Structure 1
Amino acid sequence: MLRISVEEAAMNLKSLLELVARGEEVILLDQDKVVARLVPPLQKEQRLVTMKKFRESLAIKGESLSATVINARIEERR
Structure 2
Amino acid sequence: MVRISVEEAERDFKAVLAQVAHGEEVVLMEQDRVVARLVPPRSREQELATMEVFRNSLRVSGEPLSVTVVKARQEERG
TM bucket normalised to smaller: 0.7 to 0.9
Partner AA of 1:68 in structure 2: T
Task: Decide which moves more: 40-49 or 61-70.
Answer: 61-70
How far has the Cα of 1:67 moved from its partner? Answer: 1.1
Residues in 2 aligned to 1:34 and 1:12: alpha-carbon distance in whole angstroms: 19
1:44: Cα distance to partner? 1.6
Shift in Å, 1:57: 1.7
- SS for the counterpart of 1:41 is coil
Task: Kindly report the root-mean-square deviation, in angstroms, between the aligned alpha carbons of the 2 structures.
Answer: 1.4
Q: 2:68 matched to 1:68? A: yes
Identity of aligned residues (%): 60
Q: Equivalents in 2 of 1:59, 1:13: separation in Å?
A: 45
Q: Give the match's secondary structure for 2:51.
A: helix
TM-superposed deviation, 1:43:
1.3
Unaligned 5+ segments in structure 1 are: none
Where does the alignment leave 5 or more consecutive residues of structure 2 unmatched?
Answer: none
Matched residue pairs, number?
A: 78
- State the match for 1:47 in structure 2: 47
Q: TM-score, normalised by structure 2?
A: 0.86
